[in-house]
Chains A and B, each alone.
Chain A
Amino acid sequence: MSFTKKSNNLFLSLFMLAISAGLLGFAFLGYHDAQIAQGAGLYISIQCNASDRKMYDILMDCIGILLLLFSTLLPPLLLKKFTSASLLRFICLFLAFIPMINPGSLVHIFSQFSHCELRTLGTLNSLLYGFDAFSSLLLLELPLLLLLLAISPKGKLFYQKVLFVLSLVSCLLYFLFPSFGEYTMFFSHYFILILIYDKTESLFKEWSKPQWPIFSLYLLCALKGIYRIILLLQTTHI
């Protein structure tokens, strides 16, 4: 049985897919509860003069599912690493590292982008918070990436450089435009995470045994993701 090598074992593949589905389902549950508690569907129903919010809650839930599936399935698909084990690994990383976007802010997404104002840098406070997106990468993602770069096969591909630049651009946008905060924070981590994922997956092709350090690391990421969702449910579950 292998957590890292492409599995010929159908049962193990199905098992991993089931865990992936379970994790995504749990993540969606957290989103759904946050969406209901923040009243995103309710807000839209009021804007549309509707008497019942249910349809709009379902609409917001569908948007949430699509965004969640899109952001978790697209990188493994595009990087041609769409196996059950590889998908599960990306989902574990995603749930552990990616900052959450409030469902409530999704309904105001257009107004946020149309009313973009430059961050006022008059105080040390605003300067420090402007660096928040970049500094949050300095703690774990960048050190992990640096360690992976030291050991990964030589030659950095063009798309990997693009991902890194996109992440830095997101950090810069976070610094300049506070109204984009949640989205730029999300993307700054998302692009770096795809880069880390790409590097680790190419390493697993060459080195996969012993598996226990890799398995422990991803288990830890999954537990972190589960804990974050439990925390969200504790505050939002009605």
Chain B
Amino acid sequence: MKEKHNISRNIIIALGMVILIAFKYILHHKCFFVMDDLWYGTNLVTGKPLQSFSDIIQSQIWHFFNWGGRNITHGILQLTLMNGEIFANILNIIMALVLALMICIVSGYKNPLAFMLSSSLIIALNPNIQNSMFWQSGTVNYVYSTAWILLFLWVYLRETTETTVKKLPLIPAWIIPLGVITGWSNENMGPASFVISIAVILYLWKFLKCTPPVWMYLGAVSSFLGSALVILAPGNFVRTAEIPETSFLITVSERFLSMLRAGADYLFPSVAFMLVAIFIYVTILKKKLKPFHWLLLAHALLSYGAMALSPHYPDRATFGTMCVCITLALSLLKEITQQTHEYKKYLNLLTLSVWSYAVYTLILIINSL
């Protein structure tokens, strides 16, 4: 009887995911390459359409010295643009699913319902779906990068559980490029990930009284290098020189307003969702947050706080922080639902509610285009 119930539930979840993916694809199909995509679709040095990988390398070298430090994401962007709309649409769908999967893996909540919930939450709690998930430049900068950032975080955070975890194969080899691209992704998530890697090393050393493995140091150093590259790229200074100078008071008031807008408006749904999960876990169930939870919370705070140094904090830039909040909420919901059967029933309804909102939002945007 239970097995029959599980099979029918999984069929409903599969159907829900098919509907969600279908609407995502339709929206991707309707969103053409626009704005920055058109510029990045060319060799930034010669102005001619991209023809080969060498055009991308040449463009990114110029980009590093003249426009900004996000070479990894913009290099991948140029790769997707070079291969056309259909290729980009399919890859974007795959990466969105990978991102939802990474949220499930990092949170430890690995089942079909959690996957549907995370896929829906990424859309439902998103302050600007179009610019962060359906505009090609935004998709690569935020969806793609958050997927590998979560992979980097997972590799470290899994070591903070007190039970011994299985060693990942050949990790000393691939942690270095992963660390570099994590740090080199964007200006808030990259450095925040580096800080978390250091925090994990210190935690293992000071609290678990064990020697952190060599690969941890390699990952931390490589993410630091990546972060340094993304922040200290000469192109960043060329761009900031173009921004008119304002007085200290105006700068402080503008930064205060942009941080208030980001925290209280753009991130409100995801942070509220996360705080309710924390309230249930900590206050109702009287459980203590684990180091893993604290580290995710710290990452969300750091990635948010780092933007105080930026002159602009657009809504799409909260995407990574939002995903970290969702990850933390899901990891708590996993443990909450293990308490009683009642929670599982309400979680099914909650998933349905969020999924409905996500589908409604996608239909609304498709209809408006």
Contact = CB atoms under 8 A, between A and B. Distances in A.
B342 A146 contact: no
B275 A146 contact: no
The SS class assigned to the B binding surface is helix
Interface in A122-169: 124-125, 128, 131, 135, 138-140, 142-144, 146-147, 149-151
A216 B265 CA distance: 15
Contacts of B260: 223, 226-227, 230
A96 interface: yes
A146 B346 contact: yes
Given A96-B268, A220-B264, 20 more contacts: A135-B357, A142-B353, A144-B272, A144-B273, A144-B276, A147-B277, A149-B346, A150-B343, A150-B346, A209-B283, A213-B275, A217-B275, A217-B279, A220-B271, A224-B265, A226-B260, A226-B264, A227-B265, A228-B265, A230-B257
B346 A223 contact: no
Nearest to B267: A220
Contacts of B283: 207-211, 213-214
A232 interface: no
A44 interface: no
Interface string B267-289: 01101110111111011100000
The SS class assigned to the A binding surface is helix
A203 interface: yes
Interface of B: 124-125, 257, 260-261, 263-265, 268-269, 271-273, 275-280, 282-284, 342-343, 345-347, 349-350, 353-354, 356-357, 360-361, 363-364, 367
A146 B350 contact: yes
Contacts of B124: 139
Contacts of B346: 146-147, 149-150
Q: What 10 pairs between A and B have smallest CB-CB spacing?
A: A150-B346, A138-B357, A223-B264, A213-B279, A227-B264, A217-B275, A224-B264, A213-B278, A146-B350, A135-B360
A138 B364 CA distance: 15
Given A213-B278, A214-B279, A223-B263, A146 B360 contact: no
A150 B279 contact: no
Contact of B367 (A125, A146, A211, A228): A125
Contacts of B275: 213, 216-217, 220
A138 B343 contact: no
11 contacts: A135-B361, A138-B353, A139-B269, A144-B272, A146-B346, A147-B280, A203-B284, A213-B275, A213-B283, A220-B263, A220-B264
A140 B347 CA distance: 14
Nearest to A206: B284
Contacts of B263: 220, 223
Interface residues of A, number: 35
A125 B364 CA distance: 8
Contacts of B125: 139
Contacts of B276: 144, 147, 217
Given A143-B273, A210-B283, A220-B275, A135 B349 contact: no
Interface in A107-128: 124-125, 128
Contact of B353 (A146, A224, A227): A146
Contact of A138 (B277, B347, B354): B354
A124 B367 CA distance: 8
Nearest to B279: A213
A223 B257 CA distance: 11
A213 B282 contact: yes
B13 to A, nearest CB: 17
Contact of B272 (A151, A208, A220): A220
B350 A131 contact: no
Given A146-B349, A227-B264, A140 B280 contact: no
Nearest to B288: A210
A213 B323 CA distance: 19
Nearest to A234: B257
B282 A140 contact: no
A130 B304 CA distance: 36
A127 to B, nearest CB: 9
A45 B114 CA distance: 58
B264 A143 contact: no
A140 B269 contact: yes
Contacts of A224: 264-265, 268
A207 B284 contact: yes
Given A147-B346, A223-B264, A227-B265, A140 B363 contact: no
Contacts of B364: 128
Interface centre among A138, A207, A221, A228, by most chain B C-beta atoms within 10 angstroms, is A138
Contacts of B271: 220
B361 to A, nearest CB: 8
Nearest to A209: B283
B41 to A, nearest CB: 32
A150 B257 CA distance: 37
Given A151-B280, A213-B278, A220 B354 contact: no
Given A203-B284, A207-B284, A213-B279, A220 B360 contact: no
B293 to A, nearest CB: 12
Contacts of A220: 263-264, 268, 271-272, 275
Interface in A156-192: none
B118 to A, nearest CB: 14
